[in-house]
Amino acid sequence: MASSSSVPKSSMQETPAYEIRRRTMSLEEWDLNVQVENPVDFVSLAHHGYDIKKYYEAQDLINYFDMLNGPTYMNLVKHFRVRAQVYDCKAAQLEMDEKVLIDPSSAGKSREEMGLEPFTVTKIRSSILGISMFISEEQIAWLIKRASEGRFVSGLDNNKTNPWNDTVNKTMFNSTKKGKYRDLSMEHKLLLKIQNENLLPKGGGGDQPSLDHRVFLHFFMTKEKANVPKYIFRHMIKTLKEVKQSTCVRCLMEDFFLKSFIKVGFWMLSEQPMSHMITSLAK
């Protein structure tokens, strides 16, 4: 299984600087209804004639599904989600502009000279009880023990003339013509269902996936290595930017991220004064 041997920089500061992070959603935590995803039982599916575990073994994702089938920490997910925001180049520049507004003499200075951390990669920032946390593509790759490598295709915009249409239709329907959901084999329906619920969660809509998502499904069906951490992270960013007011959200990766750190990373807070609050909140 391909994985990075080095541990990425922690998503929680080693010596946390407690801060009050404002909500990025108009909703309160208690107004949020988190949809819990159904676990995937590959053994039961194989017993009923659908041995689809091989597709996820080819993508080095068995460890991911093992952890995904664990408990869900609803309160932690809610606290994280309502304060989550995408920190990209645009947000980093806005951060510098705000510094200049406060102190005009800082104009022209570097981020370090302004007292800001260097901008390196796009992250999803949030906090829980004042403890700053972030999720990045590198973090996801490390947590699922799967290197961030493989094919990544995005921004196809459901263009009907795109050559990817013929490719994915051939894979999904054994025809160059686009079929309907009912035309899929049962095995392919299961792969699509798992993708929609456990990899790139949908917030609603019909059964027909976008062209981007059909290409992702094509990689699984053909066992061609896809850059799963990148797909997941980009999907999280897209979801955060689109879903701001809905009370019913699917926070699959936030939940996976938090339960992973409860298992392998919350020990970093063992000597911090708020660690006992984190533990009680997770229950």
Confidence of residue 214 (pLDDT cuts 50, 70, 90): very high
Q: Of 90-99, 216-225, 241-250, which has the strongest mean pLDDT?
A: 216-225
pLDDT above 60: residue 1: no
pLDDT above 70: residue 106: yes
Tell me the pairing of strands 33-34 and 248-249.
parallel
**pLDDT value at position 274?**
38
Tell me the two tokens of residue 112: 């370090």
Smallest CA-to-CA distance from 274 within 10, 13, 9, 8 is with: 13
**pLDDT value at position 83?**
83
Please give the helix or strand (H or E) that residue 124 lies within, else none: strand 123-128
Smallest CA-to-CA distance from 202 within 242, 241, 250 is with: 250
Tell me the pairing of strands 123-128 and 131-135.
antiparallel
Give the residue, 283 or 32, on which the prediction is more confident.
Answer: 32
Percent of the chain with pLDDT over 70: 69
Alpha-carbon distance values, 182 to 117, 185, 207, 231, 279 (Å):
51, 8, 10, 26, 46
Backbone angles phi, psi at 258, to 5 degrees: -70, -40
**pLDDT value at position 20?**
62
Q: Which residues, listed in sequence order, are joined to residue 248 by a DSSP beta bridge?
A: 33
pLDDT above 90: residue 45: yes
Give the residue, 191 or 76, on which the prediction is more confident.
Answer: 191
Going from N- to C-terminal start, the domains of the chain cover 1-31+72-144+251-278
Half-sphere exposure of 106 (CA within 13 A, CB side): 16
**pLDDT value at position 161?**
85
pLDDT above 50: residue 101: yes
Give the residue, 41 or 13, on which the prediction is more confident.
Answer: 41
Do 61 and 143 touch, CB atoms closer than 8 A? no
Each residue of 72-93: pLDDT tens digit?
777 777 778 888 888 999 999 9
